[in-house]
Amino acid sequence: MDKRFANIFGLTEEQSIALLDTPPEQAGDESERYVAASQLANYPSEASIDALIRAVNVTYDSLDNRIARRKSVESLGKLKATKGIDAIRGCLSDEDRYTVEAAVWAIGEIGTDNTEILEEITQLLAKPNQTYRVIIHTLVKLNYGAAVDRVRPFMDHENEPTASAAISTVCLFAQDFSQIDRVVSFLQSDNVDARRACLEDLINSRYYAAIPAIARCPISLMFRLRAVRTLAENGIASGNLTVEQVLPVIEQILLDHPKDLELVHEYDQPPALEFLIQELYHTDFGRTYLATKTFIDHPIDAAPEALFATYEAEAHNDYGAHYHVMKLMGWLHHQPAYDLLIDALDNTSPQFMKSRAGAALSLGELGDQRAIAPLQTSAQSKIWMLQYASLMALEKLGDYSQHKLLLDANDWAVKAKANQTVPMAANAHQA
């Protein structure tokens, strides 16, 4: 489990239990019990599980109790607390759809082969206004093939993420992949949620043929890397894929040049610089990549200055725009950005992780030899994507010293990259 945010509120287990046990009508602050329920997912103890079960059984009718209760269900799921399953099961008939959704998800995390519970979950498909996608995913996770005919009607659901989940589930349960291309086609939906959602379904279906299309999908590289790596790990283990097939795709995604993406938006008129800058802040990366591509294809002299200005004003604190500023400085080969890129390379705040890899690659684009030493350091970090991006940037700068040190890297992709490159570099040197 990703632990980067494990103690974001700095609460101990005892403090969290005390807050959660506070009767909702007496809670000092409305969000405290919710935060406590969330925090207890990090403490896998009997005391923590018992406190969460007590919270699930508090049915006081208020928004704040509802969300604290729902979060308690989710935390029991994260803790895989079998002991909590009876309390969670009671939530399957709750009137609040999100409480039902959390209960279904938590049962999926805990795991069960109790057919009564599995049927109860399946029957939710017949109930209006439920989160069908989560229900369908959970039925897959619990391997309840008996549900397949009740999932089938959702293949034509108007909501694309729901249809995507249903199609991939029928593929898996009925071993009929004739419709999987519809899931692949959602990678080009103009709805960003559909684009992100279908990735999960392609992972679940282990549909390796989708890897090139995933690489070209206009969503954040973090989603694409996660999908390709998960598929690759399964595919390599089962003999359906080779590392040699996967590495170029990983590099293409890490490099993240908008020319390698199939964009789903377009401008109806040439945009002004100010507009393009603002587009970098969009939460739909389909739009940010279109702006980036426009910056590259139609260079504007004032662009670097505007990028520096927006960095100072807002982007230094916005983990989306921050990344795009770093990338653009590289694509525009803007030498005065060297110091900015070095700062980004060393920024250890977790939400700027992709900016570190982006800055490494942009330093490679600038071609400034001063970057070799800091990139050698970042190549030895513990973050695989930063290691990999640093190796790519060092290659651009003609340095292969770190590849030799990473022949036994912990990460399989970094290790394969190093092992693939070292003999090639040696041959080139001899020639």
- Which chain residues interact with other proteins by CB under 8 A? 1-2, 4-5, 7-10, 29-31, 34-35, 38-39, 63-64, 66-67, 70-71, 74, 98, 101, 105, 131, 133-134, 159, 161, 192-193, 196-197, 200, 283, 317-320, 349-351
Q: Return the number of the residue (382 or 429) whose C-beta is nearest other proteins.
A: 382
Shortest spacing between CB 50 and other proteins, in angstroms: 21
Collapsing DSSP to helix, strand or coil, 332 comes out as coil
Q: Return the number of the residue (218 or 304) whose C-beta is nearest other proteins.
A: 218
Cβ of 127: how many Cβ atoms within 10 Å?
13
Cα angle: 101, vertex 99, 204; to 5 degrees? 15
Shortest spacing between CB 5 and other proteins, in angstroms: 4
Secondary structure of 242-286 in HEC code, one letter for each residue: CHHHHHHHHHHHHHCCHHHCCCCCCCCCCCCHHHHHHHCCCCCHH
Cβ of 178: how many Cβ atoms within 10 Å?
10
- CA–CA separation, 167 vs 181, rounded Å? 10
The answer to whether 51 touches 21, Cβ cutoff 8 Å, is: yes
* Tokens of residue 366, six digits: 């600038």
Q: Return the number of the residue (186 or 289) whose C-beta is nearest other proteins.
A: 186
- CA–CA separation, 40 vs 35, rounded Å? 9
State how far the alpha carbon of 69 is from the alpha carbons of 15, 168, 239, 405, in Å: 17, 32, 44, 50
Q: Return the number of the residue (50 or 64) whose C-beta is nearest other proteins.
A: 64
Shortest spacing between CB 356 and other proteins, in angstroms: 14
Q: Return the number of the residue (131 or 390) whose C-beta is nearest other proteins.
A: 131
Shortest spacing between CB 193 and other proteins, in angstroms: 3
Cα angle: 8, vertex 107, 74; to 5 degrees? 20
Shortest spacing between CB 111 and other proteins, in angstroms: 17
Shortest spacing between CB 40 and other proteins, in angstroms: 12
Shortest spacing between CB 250 and other proteins, in angstroms: 19
Q: Return the number of the residue (30 or 251) whose C-beta is nearest other proteins.
A: 30
Q: Return the closest-CA partner of residue 339 out of 378, 365, 300, 370.
A: 370
Q: Return the number of the residue (221 or 409) whose C-beta is nearest other proteins.
A: 221
